[in-house]
């Protein structure tokens, strides 16, 4: 114990403030303003900084560079789908007719419809459910992957859904973002599994929605299946090339996937439609 009036009875950072509380680590006197509660006793500001600096840094679970701010790409896709839906109502279905995809009629003459169909919907409930699912999963994936990778995932999954329709149901006209959204579902599942996260809810969601396409008329399970497969492949590419030094390899693999989907589509054109 120090003598009354000793300099040791005053905060070492504020000499005009008397105190009898000592830092548990260094033993210096500190006033209430300078005290940080510890597991045992209190610590002074310098000891707190030293303790934080000596702690090992924890590696982030997310292997990608996060995108800060609002999910701009997801909100833009939702806004575009809403705008197309309203335009289709105003024009009496003409927008739908101009953007839908029918493999038999448009694969060779208007191949861009394999993507534009993902922005058209057949009714209010259809667009509402798809946009809700897109917002829930898209917002998370966009923040996780970054805007460029996320947009590539969405568009290539949509293309994968159209390719599956081309092969499995070539006489069917399809609209909707379901193929792309199933790609998001599958990609989210693959990324979580590769990070060691077990999420049975996403598996249940995938199974239920996939099964619905077999039992509910008007739902293209072919597009769901194709989108899910391609989305999973995209996620595997991302996880295998997540280091900055592998960026060129990632782009080459993504370009190769797109070329493969185009080649598969071209091959189908030479196969007679049953």
**pLDDT tens digit at each of 274 positions of the chain:** 344 456 677 888 888 888 878 888 888 888 888 888 877 678 889 888 888 887 765 555 555 655 556 899 999 999 999 999 999 999 999 999 999 999 999 999 999 999 999 999 988 999 999 999 899 889 999 999 999 999 999 999 999 999 999 999 999 999 999 999 999 999 999 998 888 777 666 677 667 666 666 656 567 889 999 999 999 999 999 999 988 899 999 999 999 999 999 999 999 999 887 6
Full-model pTM:
0.74
**91, 205: one domain:** yes
- Of the candidates 122, 117, 64, 16, the one whose C-alpha atom is nearest the C-alpha of residue 244 is 64
Q: At 84, phi and psi to the nearest 5?
A: -65, -40
Catalytic residue among 133, 162, 173, 178: 178
- 74, 138 in Cβ contact below 8 A? yes
- Of the candidates 215, 237, 221, the one whose C-alpha atom is nearest the C-alpha of residue 63 is 237
Between the alpha carbon of residue 194 and those of residues 232, 239, 240, the distances in Å are 11, 7, 10
> Is 62 inside a domain boundary?
no
- Determine the structural domain holding residue 16 and report its residue range: 7-54
DSSP β-bridge partners for residue 42: 37
**13, 43: one domain:** yes
Is 178 one of the catalytic residues?
A: yes
CATH code of residue 133: 1.20.1540.10
**135, 242: one domain:** yes
DSSP β-bridge partners for residue 36: 43
**14, 94: one domain:** no
> Is 67 inside a domain boundary?
no
**30, 145: one domain:** no
**105, 217: one domain:** yes
> Is 2 inside a domain boundary?
no
**49, 107: one domain:** no
**85, 195: one domain:** yes
Q: Which residues neighbour 153 within 8 Å (Cβ) at sequence distance 6 or greater?
A: 141, 145, 183, 184, 187, 231, 234, 235, 238
> Is 63 inside a domain boundary?
no
Is 224 one of the catalytic residues?
A: yes
Max distance between CA atoms of the chain, in angstroms, equals 102
**Which tokens belong to 98?**
């101009």
Q: Count of domains in the chain?
A: 2
**79, 46: one domain:** no
């Amino acid at each position: 114990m120090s003598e009354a009036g000793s300099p040791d009875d005053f905060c070492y950072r504020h000499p005009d403030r008397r105190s009898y509380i000592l830092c548990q680590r260094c033993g210096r006197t500190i006033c209430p303003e300078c005290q940080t509660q510890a597991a045992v006793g209190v610590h002074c500001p310098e000891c707190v900084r030293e303790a934080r600096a000596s702690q090992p840094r924890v590696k982030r679970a997310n292997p990608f560079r996060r995108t800060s701010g609002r999910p701009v790409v997801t909100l833009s896709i939702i806004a575009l789908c809403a705008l197309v839906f309203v335009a289709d109502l105003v024009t009496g279905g003409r927008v739908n007719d101009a953007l839908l995809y029918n493999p038999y009629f448009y694969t060779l003459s208007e191949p861009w419809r394999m993507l534009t169909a993902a922005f058209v919907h057949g009714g209010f409930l259809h667009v509402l459910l798809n946009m809700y699912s897109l917002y829930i999963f898209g917002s998370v994936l966009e923040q996780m992957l970054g805007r460029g990778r996320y947009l590539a995932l969405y568009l290539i999954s949509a293309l994968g859904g159209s390719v599956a329709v081309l092969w499995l149901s070539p006489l069917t006209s399809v609209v909707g973002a379901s193929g792309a959204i199933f790609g998001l579902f599958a990609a989210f599942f693959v990324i979580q599994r590769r990070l060691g996260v077990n999420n049975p809810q996403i598996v249940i969601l995938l199974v239920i929605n996939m099964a619905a396409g077999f039992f509910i008329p008007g739902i293209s399970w072919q597009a769901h299946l194709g989108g899910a497969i391609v989305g999973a492949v995209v996620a595997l590419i991302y996880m295998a090339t997540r280091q900055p030094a592998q960026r060129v390899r990632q782009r080459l693999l993504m370009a190769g996937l797109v070329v493969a989907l185009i080649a598969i589509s071209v091959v189908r054109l030479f196969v007679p439609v049953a």
